[in-house]
Amino acid sequence: MPLAESFLAELGAELRAACAALPRERLEAELARLLEAGRAEHPGVALDPERFASWLARAARSALEGALDPAAALGQLHGPDLYLACACEAHDPAALARFEAEELPTVRAALADQRLAPALRDELVQELRAALFTPRGELAPMIANYSGRGRLRGWLRVAAVRMGQRALGKERRQVPLPDVALDGLAAAADPELARLKQAYRAEFREAVRGALASLEARARTLLCQHYLDDLGIDQLGALYQVHRATAARWVAAAREELLERTRAALQERLAISRPELDSVLRLIASRLDVTLRDILKPSE
């Protein structure tokens, strides 16, 4: 199939009409030039021409809208970077390896310029890498937002700076978790819960402390933001630039991980009958949302 047909098929009606008005040979030649520029700069990256033309149509919409000469607008795009971005979204191994070696250092440098801690920089690089190439619910991967009007490295640098700024803002909002806050875990007015706390207070405290301490940094941060800062799923999605469904899965996974680690610790520590152990575990599960707010709340 000619490149122009694949390209036009992905455009909206208005842009399709504007581009279809061009001489077909000119449009085909401009698309072929972009494709060959990509192949020339990335010889080890194999990409189906029709896939590239279809992807280019989606990426180039912002450049084409309002353009008096669509072919000239296409001529301003950076073909090699668009070619690499398209191949990376397709998870081509050679393209991803080239991205890691040649483009990702820009992200690391942008984060280093913001004087973020090395461990946080590594975490943010991983988050950005996942966002770039992994679909976000019904949304396309972030790399699909690259339009080709500037260099890919500049676009990545802007994304990294924004991510670093958000991370710095989160660090300012986080509150340390004092050990005394753990005393509030079973403080709710539930007679059965109070009895179990009284009976197994030391074991219960140690189990929760160990579970919290063993969580990964992002899981613990998510729990703090959700239960201490009262950030809802939509707010967390906006904060991390992911679909709300992804944010909900992250919070649910962090909560379940904390619950499972607490259960495991209690099963190991408590020498009690199976029915009573089951009661302890049911109470932990049923009141975890309430008690998480208690333990994460800083002391006055």
Give the Cα separation of 102 and 100 in Å (integer).
Answer: 6
Could you tell me what percentage of the chain is helix, strand and coil, using 3-state DSSP and rounding each to the nearest 5?
Answer: 75, 0, 25
pTM exceeding 0.85: no
Q: Which of 100, 230, 115 is nearest to 165 (CA)?
A: 115
* 185 touches 295 (CB < 8 A): yes
Q: Report the SS3 class of residue 178.
A: coil
Least confident interval from 70-79, 122-131, 228-237, 274-283? 274-283
Q: Report the SS3 class of residue 270.
A: coil
Q: How many residues in the chain?
A: 300
More confident residue, 246 or 84: 84
Q: How much is the average pLDDT of 164-189?
A: 52
Alpha-helical regions (H) of 13-69: 13-20, 24-41, 49-59, 61-64
For residue 166, is pLDDT > 90? no
For residue 224, is pLDDT > 50? yes
Q: How much is the average pLDDT of 23-47?
A: 91
pLDDT category of residue 43 using cuts at 50, 70 and 90: very high
Residue with tokens 């700024």: 165
